[in-house]
């Protein structure tokens, strides 16, 4: 598959009388988008739109997902396809245009635990990549007939459909730059660079239930057996987030759309590695599911003829077992592994970092300690509800101070220890 991604750089985001894209300025008709969102489900009772820009004294919480607006220009399928009949064509080829530098952020309460935080300035802004994007924030509420699963599904729908609604602005635009990615069919790809090690990417998706889920072509990842994807499918919107928990290391949809491991492997493709493809797998909670999925991962890696695999985790705790199972079985099959994770090593960094370990996991990249403490100063504007600061993951009784400042662990910040290495945090030995 060959995919061209045309990036239209967004330099300014504002509300106005019409919804337009011109010279890097995206203008949104607030009333038109609110009407569109309300029309998505009759149980939506309130919709609020706000814009949060880099450098502003603005806090967004509790954030549920972050999505990059895109549109298919050439080729089959639609962005975020597979969710409805007639929209299940394969993604990953043709041409897609992107509103680069802009994000749609969904916020609001769903269940008892609420997360996470995006600060557009101050110390927390350094821990989230989304303090640098031009953010359209959608907060919506639903009526009391919805259970929490229906509430989550509605909020997920609102984010994805709003991003598609805005993304259509890019269809006729001239990109500032065009990137090209290509992976050939298996046998042809193996023969293209026979002298280079064949490397694959094992892409672990969180699949533990409400706010811990991910979706592949609209299908709940809990229900899949591991399968092989062209890397371009991921870059074209085949993988979605099922909203957010835990904030620091749950991959928002935006991160799936811009998977940095895939991007870096493509940069090395034909130079130091022969990038063969992506094995997508889940992180289910039962032992038999973990055994089945890790066995499938190893079988597929052998079938692809891999010499080595990069394995990225999503989440922490229970998925640590999946990470180690994947590692051990791949190593036993003669496939060298490199693991990407983050740590929960306590606020002083002195506790066991992962809930599971294996001596065969001897090449591990850490994306930081999520338990590290930080104080977030009060902001001039809060979009959403800061009253949840005491109960978000990373918060504790007394986290929210009377002056509006928050004392919390960095795991409350969206993307702080992203396990794909999407942001800037890592760990060093010593």
Q: List the 381-384 sheet strands across, edge first.
A: 118-119, 58-61, 381-384
Length of the chain in terms of residues written:
430
**Catalytic residue annotation:** 244
Tokens describing residue 313 = 């985790």
- Give backbone dihedrals phi and psi of 82, rounded to 5 degrees, phi first: 90, 0
Asked whether the beta carbons of 159 and 135 are under 8 A apart, the reply is no
Cα-Cα-Cα-Cα dihedral sign, residues 330, 335, 340, 345: positive
Q: Burial-class residue 11 by CB neighbours within 10 Å (0-12, 13-18, 19+).
A: exposed
- Give backbone dihedrals phi and psi of 337, rounded to 5 degrees, phi first: -120, 150
Q: Burial-class residue 285 by CB neighbours within 10 Å (0-12, 13-18, 19+).
A: middle
Q: How far apart are the first and last CA of the chain?
A: 43
Q: Where are the alpha helices (DSSP H) in 100-219?
A: 148-167, 186-192
Strands 25-28 and 12-15: parallel
């Amino acid at each position: 598959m060959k995919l061209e991604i045309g990036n239209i750089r967004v330099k300014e985001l504002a509300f106005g009388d019409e919804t337009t894209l011109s010279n890097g300025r995206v203008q949104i008709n607030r009333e038109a988008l609110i009407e569109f969102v309300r029309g998505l489900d009759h149980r939506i009772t309130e919709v609020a739109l706000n814009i949060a820009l880099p450098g502003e004294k603005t806090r967004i919480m509790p954030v549920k997902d972050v999505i990059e607006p895109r549109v298919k220009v050439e080729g089959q399928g639609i962005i975020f396809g597979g969710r409805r009949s007639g929209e299940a064509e394969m993604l990953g080829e043709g041409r897609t245009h992107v509103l680069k530098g802009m994000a749609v952020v969904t916020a609001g309460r769903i269940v008892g635990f609420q997360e996470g935080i995006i600060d557009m300035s101050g110390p927390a802004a350094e821990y989230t990549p989304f303090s640098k994007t031009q953010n359209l924030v959608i907060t919506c509420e639903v009526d009391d007939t919805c259970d929490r699963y229906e509430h989550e599904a509605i909020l997920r729908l609102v984010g994805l459909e709003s991003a598609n609604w805005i993304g259509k602005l890019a269809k006729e635009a001239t990109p500032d730059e065009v990137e090209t990615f290509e992976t050939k069919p298996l046998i042809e790809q193996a023969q293209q660079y026979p002298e280079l090690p064949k490397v694959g990417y094992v892409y672990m998706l969180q699949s533990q239930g409400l706010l811990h889920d991910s979706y592949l072509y609209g299908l709940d990842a809990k229900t899949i057996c591991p399968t092989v994807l062209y890397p371009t499918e991921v870059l074209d919107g085949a993988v979605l987030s099922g909203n957010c928990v835990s904030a620091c290391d749950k991959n928002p949809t935006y991160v799936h759309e811009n998977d940095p491991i895939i991007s870096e492997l493509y940069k090395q493709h034909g130079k130091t590695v022969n990038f063969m493809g992506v094995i997508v797998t889940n992180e289910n909670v039962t032992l038999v599911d973990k055994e089945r999925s890790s066995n499938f991962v190893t079988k597929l890696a052998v079938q692809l003829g891999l010499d080595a695999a990069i394995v990225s985790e999503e989440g922490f705790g229970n998925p640590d077992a999946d990470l180690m199972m994947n590692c051990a079985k791949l190593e036993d099959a003669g496939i060298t592994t490199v693991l990407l994770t983050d740590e929960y090593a306590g606020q002083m960094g002195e506790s066991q970092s992962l809930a599971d370990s294996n001596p065969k996991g001897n090449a591990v990249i850490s994306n930081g300690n999520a338990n590290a403490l930080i104080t977030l100063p009060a902001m001039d504007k809060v979009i959403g509800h800061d009253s949840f600061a005491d109960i978000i993951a990373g918060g504790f009784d007394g986290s929210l101070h009377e002056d509006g400042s928050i004392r919390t662990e960095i795991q409350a910040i969206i993307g702080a220890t992203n396990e794909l290495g999407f942001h800037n945090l890592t760990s060093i030995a010593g």
